[in-house]
Structure 1
Amino acid sequence: MSIIIEARDIRYRYPGSREAIRGISFHIRPGEKIALVGPNGAGKSTLLQMFNGMIRPDAGTMLFDNEPIRYDTRSLRQLRRRVGYVLQNSDRQIIAPTVYQDVAFGPANLGFDEPAIRRAVALALQYVGLEGFERRPPHQLSGGEKKRVAIAGVLAMDPDVLVFDEPTSGLDPAGSEDLMELLDELHHDGKTVIISTHDVELAYPWADRAILLLDGRILKEDVPDVAFGNTEYVRRAHLSVPTLLELSQELGRRGFVQPDHKPRSVLDMVYILEHIHHEACVHPTPGTISVCNVDEVETSSIAAWVNDHPGLAIGAMGTRAKQCATLEDLTLEFTYGVIDKCILRALSGQDSLILTSSSMAGRVVTRVEAYCWESRTTITVLPWSMMNQAPKEGLTNEEVKEG
């Protein structure tokens, strides 16, 4: 598989200080979700700034798309078009008096003509859910809205790679969940996403790979359950073992047989616990997960259908789906980890509805199929086109996709 970012024995020292990066080598493939994890001072932010040439290593080589990064003005401009960087503090990134002007800054610097700038700004603001904010002064926005403006400014340049320094810093739990959902949406649309964080509970279920940093060196690089599963490395990095992984380890120490893969979500842990206590479990008839692509239906018909199905749990995946729910005054029970939470509802015999967009609709069936195959359970996924019909007995997810 190709490599989009690579570091070869890079080193960097801030003037008058010790080395911040001390001989680091690694690579990142297109389409990966990477978490750089470590305590304050580990070198996370310094390393991130090397990805788009904001910092030049004193020694070693940084490569982008298999070519060494060049640091002349023209080359850096092209690099920063393809590698977008979102600062930890959005106030340091937002510089213009209105949202429109700030988001337009990047495309204008790249030489876009005025119609192209308007299109880029409109698409970026739509993506992050800030349509209608064009004339708003950024200083009047909330912390979460400022973060989205900063992301829109990067998206307007249509980069291949998105780099986020402590993306949930300063956000409340709901804002953090919304932002991580946005990162998942960006990844699903083909972006390579790299974050830095010291929050293991955030990194563990999210990342494809985790890179543990300490004192400017890589302590461990692997899939999250391996990277965070070594207690010695985690403690040396001044971190803690993720709660789900720690619980799994404790069950193993107590002699309970578990699946080969480690739990990455509450759904995974429920499956393990049910497997351990299989004889004591009562399994009701699974509920149905209905899926509505908001890009293909009239929003008013969604509200009418929901009113005819009281007690339904509703989740929304993606910015447009959440906007639709707000427009129709639908109460959302799930806004992050939506598919797994709806599977849990189905396992308890309850029905749910997932609002999603065209680019994310296929994820629902794929995830439900994977769970059903592993757990030997049958859960019906019902698309909007069939939601006004009685579900067919024994309907499979493959039949739903074909329908």
Structure 2
Amino acid sequence: MTNLLEFDNIHYAYPNCPASLFSVTFSIKKGARVALVGPNGAGKTTLMLMCNGVLEPSQGRVLLDGEPLKYDNRSLREVRKKVGMVFQNSDTQLFAPTVYQDVAFGPHNLGMEPDEIKKVVTRALLEVGLAGYEKRPPHQLSGGEKKRAAIAGTLAMDPEILVFDEPTSSLDPAGAADLMELLDELNAKGATIIISTHDVELAYLWADQIILLNKGTVLHMGTPEEVFTDPALVTSSNLRMPAVLELYTELVSRQMVKKTESPKSVLQLVSSLEQNFKKPEAERILGTITVCDVDATGTEEIKAWIAYHPGLRCGAMGTRAKNLAERESIALDFTYGVIDKGILRALVGENSVLLTPASMVPHVFLRVETYCRESGNRIAVVSMNTKTESPAPGAMTNRGPTE
């Protein structure tokens, strides 16, 4: 992967204030999921505002596609087509009388024709799960809906890079999980995602790359495992170790599990424990995971399939899948961490069906295959829709429902 965005020896100080950033240097590759992590006052928001030229460094350069940013109005318009920013407080981005007008603001400023504007606004609202909200006043939306409307306004510009400042702030746990699933879906479609957060649990589980900041400087750059398994590094950044990693460390110290690759989820921690208490293969009855592509399967077909297979656990990931479940009164057993929960149910012999948009189907198969390869378990992955092809040859895959 090539470097898409680079920060070269960045310094910055707000007027009449001490310096906020010192000698910040790092790069972000195309398609990455990056978390800027640090306590309040670490310089995260200042750095985020430099991604699309809202702030200009006092010293150093920001490069996009290898070219230094220029700060004249014409150049910044081009930059903001490629780099979309979603602020922590969605109210700062929502100012028009209706959701449609808010989302259409950027395309209108780009000089798009009305028909093209309608097309991109409709697409953006569909992607974030706000189809039908076009005439709603933004001030009547919930906190999560406001966040999605702000994201839709950014998506309407079709950027390559999406930048989120504290994306889950002010959201309840369910809303935060929904939003992170949306970011996963956008990333699966090719967007490079950058978030700032002080939530170590979120960063550890979600990101590919962690940039650890404190007092305006970069303490460390690396994978989540490299950053969060170093107690001294975590302490020096005024943060704490993720709970699942802290528990794993304690279990290793008591010789209750063998020290292997650090777990990032409850599923991986359970897998480590299972190595000590694993039943003989002949005694293990594993359940099946069925994948339903809601973009390629009719609603009546989905409902009939579920009715024909009573006793299934049902999960939904992605906005369109969850909206379908709510609209059709399909009871959901899990709505976040859906793939891992399906695997956990399979390990105790239960079958699950996972409703998902087309863009996330390969991710489901790949996640199950990766788990099977690492654990030695063989969980059957079934496609409800015969048009869906499995990209995960290492897992047990079938066509059609399990009887």
Q: Give the TM-score of the pair, scaled to structure 2.
A: 0.94
Partner of 1:220: 220
Structure 1: how far apart are the matches of 2:204 and 2:281?
28
The alpha-carbon distance between structure 1 residues 137 and 400, as it changes in their structure 2 partners (threshold 3 A), is same
Structure 2: how far apart are the matches of 1:336 and 1:57?
39
C-alpha deviation, 1:34, in angstroms? 0.4
1:14 aligns with 2:14: yes
Structure 1: how far apart are the matches of 2:282 and 2:12?
58
Structure 1: how far apart are the matches of 2:355 and 2:331?
12
1:400 aligns with 2:377: no
Partner of 2:389: none
Structure 2: how far apart are the matches of 1:157 and 1:337?
30
C-alpha deviation, 1:190, in angstroms? 0.5
Q: List per-residue Cα deviations over 1:215-267 (Å, max 9, x = no partner).
A: 00011111001111111111121111001111222223234553532101111
Partner of 1:84: 84
Partner of 1:57: 57
Classify the secondary structure of the residue corresponding to 1:41.
coil
Structure 2: how far apart are the matches of 1:198 and 1:98?
32
Percent identical among aligned pairs is 53
C-alpha deviation, 1:279, in angstroms? 6.3
Residue pairs, 1:294-373, within 5 angstroms: 294-373=294-373
- The answer on whether the counterparts of 2:378 and 2:396 sit within 8 Å (CA) in structure 1 is no
Q: List per-residue Cα deviations over 1:91-147 (Å, max 9, x = no partner).
A: 011111100000000111111111110001000000000011000000011000000
Q: Give the TM-score of the pair, scaled to structure 1.
A: 0.94
The residue identity in structure 1 corresponding to 2:340 is: D
Stretch moving more, 40-49 or 246-255: 246-255
1:155 aligns with 2:155: yes
The residue identity in structure 2 corresponding to 1:183 is: L
Structure 2: how far apart are the matches of 1:282 and 1:57?
63
Structure 2: how far apart are the matches of 1:189 and 1:380?
26
C-alpha deviation, 1:373, in angstroms? 1.6
The alpha-carbon distance between structure 1 residues 16 and 72, as it changes in their structure 2 partners (threshold 3 A), is same
Residue pairs, 1:112-123, within 5 angstroms: 112-123=112-123
Partner of 2:34: 34
Residue pairs, 1:61-76, within 5 angstroms: 61-76=61-76
Q: List per-residue Cα deviations over 1:265-300 (Å, max 9, x = no partner).
A: 111000001113336999630011111111112101
Structure 2: how far apart are the matches of 1:86 and 1:342?
32
- The answer on whether the counterparts of 2:380 and 2:397 sit within 8 Å (CA) in structure 1 is no
Classify the secondary structure of the residue corresponding to 1:359.
helix
The alpha-carbon distance between structure 1 residues 45 and 376, as it changes in their structure 2 partners (threshold 3 A), is same
Structure 2: how far apart are the matches of 1:396 and 1:162?
32
1:252 aligns with 2:252: yes
- The answer on whether the counterparts of 1:165 and 1:197 sit within 8 Å (CA) in structure 2 is yes
The residue identity in structure 2 corresponding to 1:271 is: S
The alpha-carbon distance between structure 1 residues 113 and 346, as it changes in their structure 2 partners (threshold 3 A), is same
C-alpha deviation, 1:330, in angstroms? 0.5
C-alpha deviation, 1:398, in angstroms? 6.0
Classify the secondary structure of the residue corresponding to 2:341.
helix
Structure 2: how far apart are the matches of 1:385 and 1:18?
59
Partner of 1:276: 276
Stretch moving more, 375-384 or 184-193: 375-384
Structure 2: how far apart are the matches of 1:253 and 1:164?
37
The residue identity in structure 1 corresponding to 2:42 is: A
The alpha-carbon distance between structure 1 residues 366 and 2, as it changes in their structure 2 partners (threshold 3 A), is same
Partner of 1:189: 189
Structure 2: how far apart are the matches of 1:177 and 1:156?
23
Structure 1: how far apart are the matches of 2:232 and 2:282?
39
Structure 1: how far apart are the matches of 2:399 and 2:3?
33
Partner of 1:374: 374
Stretch moving more, 21-30 or 374-383: 374-383
Segments ≥4 residues shifted beyond 6 Å:
279-282
Structure 2: how far apart are the matches of 1:110 and 1:283?
63
The alpha-carbon distance between structure 1 residues 305 and 402, as it changes in their structure 2 partners (threshold 3 A), is closer
Q: Number of aligned residue pairs: give it.
A: 396
The alpha-carbon distance between structure 1 residues 90 and 294, as it changes in their structure 2 partners (threshold 3 A), is same
- The answer on whether the counterparts of 1:127 and 1:319 sit within 8 Å (CA) in structure 2 is yes
- The answer on whether the counterparts of 1:365 and 1:401 sit within 8 Å (CA) in structure 2 is no
C-alpha deviation, 1:316, in angstroms? 1.1
Stretch moving more, 36-45 or 376-385: 376-385
The gaps in structure 1 that reach 5 residues or longer are: 387-394
User: How big is the alpha-carbon RMSD for the aligned residues of Structure 1 and Structure 2?
Assistant: 2.1
